[in-house]
Amino acid sequence: DVKVTQSSRYLVKRTGEKVFLECVQDMDHENMFWYRQDPGLGLRLIYFSYDVKMKEKGDIPEGYSVSREKKERFSLILESASTNQTSMYLCASRDPSTNEKLFFGSGTQLSVL
Amino acid sequence: GESVGLHLPTLSVQEGDNSIINCAYSNSASDYFIWYKQESGKGPQFIIDIRSNMDKRQGQRVTVLLNKTVKHLSLQIAATQPGDSAVYFCAEKGTDKLIFGTGTRLQVFP
């Protein structure tokens, strides 16, 4: 089975801090995604990457950046954390040659105080 | 724009009964649909998917039905068990990305 691992299950940060959320997948998938999940809003796409060194803005990229230096790792960066970025962050990967199915990590619950 | 919605935010069923979770979509050009299950404190887990050239697809205790005429998708769970308690949400693929619904919470009581 595909495994998508997010480095932290819970994070508490202060406003203005730079925050790194790490995600690693072990199935050599080309595509990787970052979503945030908020009650009543569902999953919203922040950034995605179709391959190493590539990145594309999703629906809500403001306040975030990403890094994809290696195929298996996709990092989400909050340059200066704000309270409205308190959320559950979900990383996912996909093999585009097989189907559209996304494989998700367990999520990181980030609280910005 | 595209939107994916659910008819009921919470569904309560008795253990052993069948569950039906519904989903409406708005983009008639969507060609792929998927259901996920998310248990408390966990990431979404794939349940079943279906392409638009099919009306029905069955898995283990689950069936997905697609009605393209009314743009409606449903997930049927047979003989619902306590372990089925979770949030279920559908997603549709229109252009190149999945669009997710907000989810329905399924509660199973004895």
For residue A77, pLDDT beyond 70: yes
> Does B49 score more than 80 pLDDT?
yes
Say yes or no to pLDDT of A72 above 60: yes
B82 pLDDT more than 80: yes
Contact in structure between A107 and B43 (CB atoms under 8 Å): yes
- A49 pLDDT above the threshold of 80: yes
Q: Is the pLDDT of residue B22 over 50?
A: yes
Average pLDDT estimate for B69-73 = 94
Do A100 and B89 make contact, defined as CB atoms within 8 angstroms?
Answer: no
Phi/psi of residue B83, each to 5°?
-70, -10
Min Cα–Cα distance to chain A from B38, Å: 10
Of A42, A99, A103, the CB nearest to B89: A42
In this predicted structure, what is the pLDDT of residue B3? 45
The mean per-residue pLDDT over the stretch A82-91 comes to 97
Confidence bin at A95 (pLDDT 50/70/90): confident
Confidence of residue B4 (pLDDT cuts 50, 70, 90): low
Task: Find how far residue B14's CA is from the centre of its chain.
Answer: 19
A104/B45 touch (CB, cutoff 8 Å), yes or no: yes
Two structure tokens written together for A43: 């999953």
Interchain contact, B97 vs A101, CB within 8 Å: no
Q: What pLDDT, on the 0 to 100 scale, is given for residue A102? A: 93
Backbone φ and ψ for A90, nearest 5 degrees, come out as -120, 130
Question: In b/e form, how buried is each residue of B49-73, taking b as 16+ CB within 10 angstroms?
Answer: bbeeeeeeeeeeebbbbbeeeebeb
pLDDT at A60: 96
Q: Tell me the two tokens of residue A113.
A: 């105080």
User: Which member of A41, A90, A107 has the closest CB to residue B102?
Assistant: A41
Question: Taking CB atoms and an 8 Å cutoff, what residues of chain B touch A104?
Answer: 36, 43-45
List the structure tokens of B63: 């069936």
Percent of chain A with pLDDT over 90: 86
Query: Is B63 a residue whose pLDDT tops 90?
Result: yes
User: CB of A14 within 8 A of CB of A29?
Assistant: no
Query: Above 60 in pLDDT, residue B8?
Result: no
A21 chain-B contacts, CB cut-off 8 A: none
Rounded average pLDDT over A35-64: 93
pLDDT average, residue stretch B3-19:
78
